[in-house]
Amino acid sequence: MTDHQAELRKLWKRYCKASERWSEAWAAQGYTGEPPPRPPFPEELRGLCCGAKTRAGTPCKRRDLYASGRCKLHGGLSTGPRKTRTP
């Protein structure tokens, strides 16, 4: 992965954090009145794709990224609720 890609991924994570805070603020407001200003989507991130190496050896081109900066096939999706064993 190039340095440029790494920078973009960092930017992407920052953007995800910012929009998370935005939705929390909006929820805290009870979704009423004026919504707080949304964090702007960084133009550089347009077209950012997953970039993980596929089994074919080519970079993944999916664009449905999660906060981790990867698509759901490459570590983006949450692992779901933990199963707790009850005796």
Q: Of these, 36, 62, 66, 67, which contacts Zn ion (CB under 5 A)?
A: 62
Residue 18 touching Zn ion (CB under 5 A): no
Pairwise CA distance, residues 85 & 83, whole Å:
6
Say how far apart CA 14 and CA 76 lie, in whole Å.
16
Cα–Cα distance list, 53 to 36, 43, 60, 85 (Å):
38, 25, 6, 35
Between 1 and 25, CB nearer to Zn ion: 1
* Candidate segments 6-14, 20-28, 39-47, 63-71, binder of Zn ion by CB under 5 A: 63-71
Contacts of 69 (CB under 8 A, 6+ apart): 9, 12, 13, 50, 76
Residues 27-56 that bind Zn ion (CB under 5 A): 50, 52
Q: Does 60 bind Zn ion (CB under 5 A)?
A: yes
Question: Is residue 8 a contact point for Zn ion (CB under 5 A)?
Answer: no
> For binding to Zn ion (CB under 5 A), which residues are involved?
50, 52, 60, 62, 71, 73-74
